[in-house]
Amino acid sequence: MPMVKKTTPTEKAARMLDLVPFISSHQGIATTELAAEFGISVEELLSDLNSLWMCGDNRFDLIDLQFESGYVTIRNAQTLNRIRSLSQQEIVAVLLGLDLIGKDLPEDREDLKGDIEDLRTKLGSEIARIVDASPAQDSQINSLISQAFEGKRRLAITYYSPTDDQVSIREITPLQLTTSENRDFLIAFCESAGGQRTFRVDRIQSATLLESPASQIPTSSTDDIRTVATVKISENIRRCRESLGAFISGAGPTVQVSTYSDGWLSRTVMSAAGAMEVTSSAKIREGIAILAGKTLDLYR
């Protein structure tokens, strides 16, 4: 038998306050339809109506409810016949949502921007004046990505890569937009890398739509080249394993690390200050030696 969520007294009281103005504007509504509107069973609705039937200014001036026939009418409910107001927290949440929507709208949607401004004013000009939200992604960049898809054209992007800790300019052909953990990712063919790469959209700092047509993507280019290295951990084993994240296999102090970024692994090993050592993958060992030399040069 499925579990039924029990309504708390607070939820029941709030629902009853909402029922009065709704019934007043929907006189004669069927109990089945009213229950469906509020997402409750008919039995719960009848319990609410019986409770409301005993409400009023005083015991001589109670709300007049009729619902025995299966249809609900209400009279003498002026005291409670007002739509429940939003709390301050709810108003702030709505204002933040409106702000994000407004800033993400295209320039030619002045009609929607006007509607949003009207709503902000109605919700309270004082609160609206101090509430401000900015979208995580630039709406202009989103628009350019859409244009690149529609026109089958390339994009020139300025992109920050935290794994390489640098900003680069790339020429790409957009292939697909995906969403993961509330973030948008652009899968594209990168001309400079000569293969498919995935870019987090909110890390694209600028974009330019190029006249160049989209590249014809070779099938083999979609396979990213992955490096597998052996790392020996000599101390702080737990902290070192956590810094390598989900890219490791092996239970002891010696682990296999799989990565698409040699630079990221080099910096992670360097940051361990001798607690980790790459014992295989000559390429990464050489990269660490070069990085260590450059770091030492900064102190000379």
If you average pLDDT over every residue of the chain, what do you get? 80
Q: Is the pLDDT of residue 220 over 70?
A: no
Mean per-residue pLDDT, 63-83: 82
Tell me, what DSSP letter sits at residue 62? B
Q: Which of 23-32, 96-105, 166-175, 180-189 has the highest mean pLDDT?
A: 23-32
C-alpha span between 155 and 209 (Å, rounded) = 5
Q: How confident is the model at residue 155 (pLDDT cuts 50, 70, 90)?
A: very high
Asked if residues 219 and 158 have their Cβ atoms less than 8 Å apart, the reply is no
Q: Is the pLDDT of residue 5 over 90?
A: no
Would you call 59 helix, strand, or coil by DSSP? coil
Q: How confident is the model at residue 217 (pLDDT cuts 50, 70, 90)?
A: low
Give residue 138's pLDDT: 64
Q: How confident is the model at residue 221 (pLDDT cuts 50, 70, 90)?
A: very low
Q: To the nearest whole percent, how much of the chain has pLDDT over 90?
A: 14
Mean per-residue pLDDT, 34-60: 86
Q: Using alpha carbons, list the distances in angstroms from residue 193 to 170, 189, 258.
A: 9, 8, 19
Q: Is the pLDDT of residue 80 over 50?
A: yes
Q: How confident is the model at residue 225 (pLDDT cuts 50, 70, 90)?
A: low
Q: To the nearest whole percent, how much of the chain has pLDDT over 70?
A: 83
Give residue 1's pLDDT: 37
Give residue 32's pLDDT: 94
Q: Tens digit of pLDDT for each residue in 281-293?
A: 888 899 889 888 8
Greater confidence (181 vs 282) lies with: 282
Give residue 42's pLDDT: 92
Give residue 56's pLDDT: 74
C-alpha span between 52 and 50 (Å, rounded) = 5
Asked if residues 170 and 190 have their Cβ atoms less than 8 Å apart, the reply is yes
Asked if residues 177 and 145 have their Cβ atoms less than 8 Å apart, the reply is yes
Q: Is the pLDDT of residue 176 over 90?
A: no
Mean per-residue pLDDT, 216-233: 67
CATH fold, domain 227-297, is: Alpha-Beta Plaits (3.30.70)
23-32, 200-209, 237-246: which range is least confident on average?
237-246
Give residue 162's pLDDT: 75
For the chain, the structural domain boundaries read 9-75, 88-130, 139-222, 227-297
Tell me, what DSSP letter sits at residue 83? P
Give the CATH number of domain 139-222: 2.30.30.520
Mean per-residue pLDDT, 211-237: 72
Question: What is the CATH architecture assignment of 9-75?
Answer: Orthogonal Bundle (1.10)
Give residue 6's pLDDT: 65
C-alpha span between 227 and 243 (Å, rounded) = 17
Q: Which of 169, 176, 208, 163 is nearest to 191 (CA)?
A: 169
Q: What is the DSSP string of 192-222?
A: TTTEEEEEEGGGEEEEEEEEEEPP---GGGG
Greater confidence (261 vs 66) lies with: 66
Q: Is the pLDDT of residue 31 over 90?
A: yes
Q: Is the pLDDT of residue 124 over 80?
A: no
Q: Is the pLDDT of residue 294 over 50?
A: yes
